[in-house]
Amino acid sequence: MDTPTPLQTLDETWSRMLCVVAHPDDLEFGSAAAVARWTGQGKTVGYCMVTSGEAGIDALAPDECRPVREAEQVESARIVGVPEVTFLGFPDGILEYGVGLRRAIALEVRRFRPDIVVTGNFRDTFGGRNLNQADHIAVGRAVLDAVRDAGNRWVFAEQLVDGLEPWGGVREVWAAGSPDATHGVDTTDTFDLGVASLEAHGAYIAGLGWEHFDGREFLEGFARQAGQRLGVALAASFEVFPMGWAGDE
């Protein structure tokens, strides 16, 4: 059997992070323990949900589901030290990559002015034969472009009112759980907070019919694999996309 490629340690010399994902729960399926580590270091982290996950529970109509999932996400974020969750209100399940999505995400980047932006895996699969979900792919692609859009004052220039300025200060975009992950961060000490953050999505998990789902066991399997590659007990893995011009240090 081939030895897994070691992960490099993520650079933690930053102060502000914006996490942009498609749905409530996307961050909790692997990244929340890392977020807890970073907020515990005194860093500022904000969450941005492109949808409210309103199509995620078969037994609840979207208008009923939306406030349930939003409330669960706000509580989930609170557990790992994130006080701010923004919901962009795009329709769940039918996201399309395009200018509208880039525009909305660029506005959040300009408002928040992060050093690092986190999104979810947007590769076609998670490393096996199981296909990724279309919303994840659309959002991840849009995040990469929106981060660059945010720094160009002539792209979405109508946003630059009331003191809002372009923001070209995003150093890197980190895609969590990518099958092409190159970097990782030790989550051993904050793993329990990550589990609690996932468990806050109780209505969603119950709505999936996962009667015997064990959040701790699920997260631990991935965290141990990443930890082995990083040389620690438990870790979260990320694919890193530098946002500078080619040749920048």
Mean pLDDT of 219-225: 97
Q: Which helix (H) or strand (E) holds 48?
A: strand 44-49
> What is the Cα–Cα distance from 205 to 43, expressed in whole angstroms?
29
- Pairing mode, if any, of strands 235-242 and 183-186? antiparallel
> What is the Cα–Cα distance from 151 to 169, expressed in whole angstroms?
8
Contacts of 65 (CB under 8 A, 6+ apart): 52, 53, 54, 55, 56, 57
Task: State residue 49 phi and psi, 5-degree precision.
Answer: -100, 120
Q: Does the pLDDT value for residue 248 go beyond 50?
A: no
156-188 pLDDT tens trace: 999 999 999 999 999 999 999 999 999 999 999
> What is the Cα–Cα distance from 172 to 169, expressed in whole angstroms?
9
The token duo for 201 is 């999505």
**Average pLDDT in the chain:** 95
Chain Cα centroid distance, residue 79: 16
Q: Does the pLDDT value for residue 198 go beyond 80?
A: yes
Mean pLDDT of 95-121: 98
Mean pLDDT of 69-75: 98
Q: Which helix (H) or strand (E) holds 19?
A: strand 16-21
Contacts of 75 (CB under 8 A, 6+ apart): 200
Residue 10 has a pLDDT of: 98
5-33 pLDDT tens trace: 999 999 999 999 999 999 999 999 989 99
Residue 246 has a pLDDT of: 41
84-97 pLDDT tens trace: 999 999 999 999 99
Contacts of 235 (CB under 8 A, 6+ apart): 7, 184, 185, 186, 187, 188, 223, 226, 227, 229
Task: Say which residue the tokens 């939306």 belong to.
Answer: 66
The token duo for 211 is 């009667």
Residue 1 has a pLDDT of: 52
Mean pLDDT of 199-216: 91
